[in-house]
Structure 1
Amino acid sequence: MNTPQSKRRMGREVKAALWTARHPGSVLTPAVTVASGLEWGWTTTGGIVGGTAAGLCAWYRAHPATFDHYAAPRLRAWRRRWSAYVGPRWHAALRACDLYTIHRKTGEERFPRIIRVRSYSPTVDSLWLRIPAGQHARQFEARLPELTEALRVERIAVERIKPGVVGLVIERAEPFTEVIEAPDMPEDPSAVDLKNLYVGETEFGADWRLPVLGQHTFVAGTTGSGKNSIPMSQLRALAPLIRDGLVRLWLCDPKQLEFTKLAPIAHRYADTEQACSDLVDEYVEDLRATQRRFADTGTRKISVSRETPLNLLIVDEIGALLAYGDGALGRNLRRQLAIVGSQGRATGHAMTAMVQEPTKDTVPIRELFTIRICLRVTAAAHVDMVLGENARLRGAIADEIPNSEDTAGIGFVLRQRSRVPLRVRAAYVNDTEIDQLVTFVRTGAAGGGHLSVVA
């Protein structure tokens, strides 16, 4: 039987009771403070409160790492919940953006209710909203520009958490105000996790890590966006494995700029269109040879060692090879790189490619890349070309990143297990640090013994 509907609204006292049940801490804390003052006296209560505050200050000054990890996010989230996202202000922003519903009979306004606030960094908040019937995450996607202005924030990204719950990532200020230092080069190969290489930071202040084993990485960005910071950071993290012959580096460098410094440590290096085509042919032949060897031995998964190293192909400005050059060479490169993209994961033949114009005409094989990164681009359409349909609508506004040296390395990726855009910044590797990488690999080559890394 259907529940009968009434035109009467819920009583205010019931709403107050429900609010209290949802936010017990915000009610009990002042209530306990008042009760303590009445029971034990305000001097004693003031001493307890002051002692707690002094303890927090001492923790803040004495051990910043643990305070910032445990206490700061909770204190910050509580403050934001009852300042930036408090009822009237929150309702006004949603009303201005038409992100609410009206009950058909009672005429009561129904707003998405905040059920969780997290503030893992000083500049970014994460909200979960219980949305009323008749709403969907797509409505928030369509209203993101208006909601961003209504809340006076820099950027908002949206995702559907589960039925009836929408998540918002709210960037209140620029999280990347400083250059991120280049990754360290570990001395011991066993310290390198091929599925978890540090390349920078996320907007939440956490490490941004990328896998290289079994993955192909596609980096798109206009001139000066910092594309090369990503493979350079990967290579510094891989330095001991390159040194010990566990990773072989193949370089296609038609631009002949930053990567020329790496020629001495590359297994193969090419800087002309013909040479790049020959290098990729050899790379595919090595892939085929590994496939035959695996078939003969019944191997299904690569175990990285000197006998079966991880092969990493880096193509700087793949568009220059596939679309802008000689027709015959371009067709050969498209065919061969498609083989790498579709068959190289199992044999340990990975690929990282950079491009300025990520259109299908320029890079027809872009769908074969498993990891895609969009740095600053010149057109809104480029964002969806790189990250997938509606990525920009959900908050990946890479075309709005300012054209400045201060924004080099800043871009967007899609979170694992989610389609919500994550803002990231790659570490900056300067010429001196590239020279350090070359010196580390060439002068620190290990001799004797058998080293292996099982991924």
Structure 2
Amino acid sequence: MGREFSKRARGAEMKAAAWVGRHPGSVLAPSVVTASGLELGWATTGGIVGGTVAGLGAWYRAHPDTFDRLAAPRLRSWRRRWWTYVGLRWRNALIACDLFTTHRKTGELRVPRLVRVRSYSPSVDTLYVKLHPGQHLRQFEAKLPELTEALKVERIALERVKPRVIALVVERAEPFTEVIEAPEMPQDADAVELGRLSVGENEYGGDWRIPVLGQHLFAAGATGAGKNSIPAAVLRGLAPMIRDGSVRLWLCDPKQMEFAKLAPIAYRYAAEEQACADLIDEYVDDMQATQQALSGQGKRAITPSPVTPLNLLVLDEMGALLAYGDPSVGRGLRRQLALIGSQGRASGHSMLGLVQEPTKDTVPVRDLFTNRICLRVTSAAHVDMVLGENARLRGALADEIPNDPATAGIGYVIRQRSRVPMRVRAAYVTDTELDELVTFVREGWKGTPANLQVVAG
């Protein structure tokens, strides 16, 4: 493949034949339309094409969820491949950045070939590129600033897919340019949707919703990434159920900063390391007692109510609890959290964990969390640790989010059906809005205030 014996370049007709072989659909579609026009008449063919377009438009308007999941990525990929990254545009961009080789004998410029384009979301494209012999990923890394400007995009990340094939993950635009306001607190418990609490917005302009009942939520992000906005938004959505006693908040707060405001509405609150361990031990005891009660009643799951409440364990700074403190306490906590992660869903015992460093050494129970969020992180490897294998390759560029207060709350989640990364932004909950939450719960509290106790301050 890399040998260069002849001084003659390959014929243009052979290049054209090879192109047709690589892109049969782009040749077949116009051919089918032409054949239909000749055979059925152009009016009939126009009606068929128009009906197809009208059908897609109706689908787009009538059922956005399935259209965005099934049709939009394919249509967007095709448009970007044959308009944004088409032939000469792609070739000229790479030549301008010196990302080509020259045939030693013929002098022919050999530009890396664009093999495939995938556009899983409106703001991120993944370009699969086949390199020529003598080229390497490092050459593209050295030219990333120039290539970013040449393609007129926000940023580009690189991944090696296999020998001589690399992927350029291209972020075309930033969908979030404004801070998202905190979600409104429902006034009645009946208005709370435990399966889809609103915590922000997604890159499609819709609400970003997450389930709480029967789920464990894991959020990773560096300092200042906006992790605390997620549990704050969740708790605002749960406010009337906390007030009515249908949700009990168990809060481990080693940092003793933002969440200290929530101590008055917590069923249990702890800050010191041993106190947090005691709180989690009590949480596990409560879970096991609920399991026994459900077993005796022949039930498989709870319906949240003041009698059988949903218990939510919020774990701030999990690294401080599991890895950075007393090793003996950390070992016990890992064992207890593994029990909660593997057994707590049916009994209504959910976890919401926050961490800066999502490695297995820091959070060995990471894989037991059913829903995960990756905000700005400091390493490309952290993205796949949080969101799963090849998440970054599919467009989750969480390590490329700028370390800027204006980007707080921006991150990625995996869409459950398609397994495609989706860019999201958590709503920003101010201190005033946290105070509003506490006041709302305390003033309308229908349980016994004595139940609210601090394990350790």
Alignment TM-score, normalising by the size of structure 2: 0.69
3-state SS of 1:249 partner: strand
Q: Alignment length, in residue pairs?
A: 379
On the 8 A contact 2:114/2:127 being kept in 1, the answer is no
Work out whether 1:238 is the aligned partner of 2:243. Answer: no
Partner of 1:324: 324
Amino acid at match of 1:431: D
Amino acid at match of 1:415: R
Alignment CA distance shift 1:114-1:271 (3 Å): closer
- Distance, in Å, in 2 between the alignment partners of 1:298 and 1:146 is 64
On the 8 A contact 1:246/1:304 being kept in 2, the answer is yes
- Distance, in Å, in 2 between the alignment partners of 1:383 and 1:145 is 22
Deviation at 1:354, TM superposition (A): 0.8
Partner of 2:297: 297
Taking only aligned residues, the RMSD between alpha carbons, in angstroms, comes to 4.5
Amino acid at match of 1:317: E
- Distance, in Å, in 2 between the alignment partners of 1:230 and 1:299 is 31
Deviation at 1:413, TM superposition (A): 1.8
Deviation at 1:384, TM superposition (A): 2.3
- Distance, in Å, in 2 between the alignment partners of 1:396 and 1:214 is 26
On the 8 A contact 2:124/2:395 being kept in 1, the answer is no
On the 8 A contact 2:117/2:125 being kept in 1, the answer is no
Partner of 1:405: 405
Alignment CA distance shift 1:115-1:318 (3 Å): closer
Partner of 2:222: 222
- Distance, in Å, in 1 between the alignment partners of 2:345 and 2:142 is 39
Deviation readout 1:241-297 (Å, 9 max, x if unpaired): 111111110000111101110011111111111111111011001100111011111
Alignment CA distance shift 1:386-1:247 (3 Å): same
Deviation readout 1:319-354 (Å, 9 max, x if unpaired): 111112222221211111111011111111000111
Alignment of 1:269-418 (within 5 A): 269-418=269-418
Alignment CA distance shift 1:376-1:127 (3 Å): closer
3-state SS of 1:346 partner: coil
The alignment-based identity, stated in percent, is 62
Deviation at 1:363, TM superposition (A): 1.2
Alignment CA distance shift 1:355-1:157 (3 Å): same
Work out whether 1:437 is the aligned partner of 2:445. Answer: no
- Distance, in Å, in 1 between the alignment partners of 2:168 and 2:206 is 18
Amino acid at match of 1:177: T
Alignment CA distance shift 1:272-1:22 (3 Å): same
Deviation at 1:117, TM superposition (A): 8.2
Deviation at 1:112, TM superposition (A): 6.8
Partner of 2:262: 262
Amino acid at match of 1:266: A
Partner of 2:208: 208
- Distance, in Å, in 2 between the alignment partners of 1:202 and 1:372 is 15
Amino acid at match of 2:351: M
Deviation at 1:236, TM superposition (A): 0.7
- Distance, in Å, in 2 between the alignment partners of 1:222 and 1:23 is 50
3-state SS of 2:248 partner: strand
- Distance, in Å, in 2 between the alignment partners of 1:89 and 1:234 is 46
Amino acid at match of 2:182: A
Deviation readout 1:122-155 (Å, 9 max, x if unpaired): xx377999x99xxxxxx99x98998973633225
Question: Is there any run of 5+ residues in structure 1 with no aligned partner, and where?
Answer: 1-6, 28-64, 99-108, 133-138, 159-166, 449-455
Partner of 1:175: 175
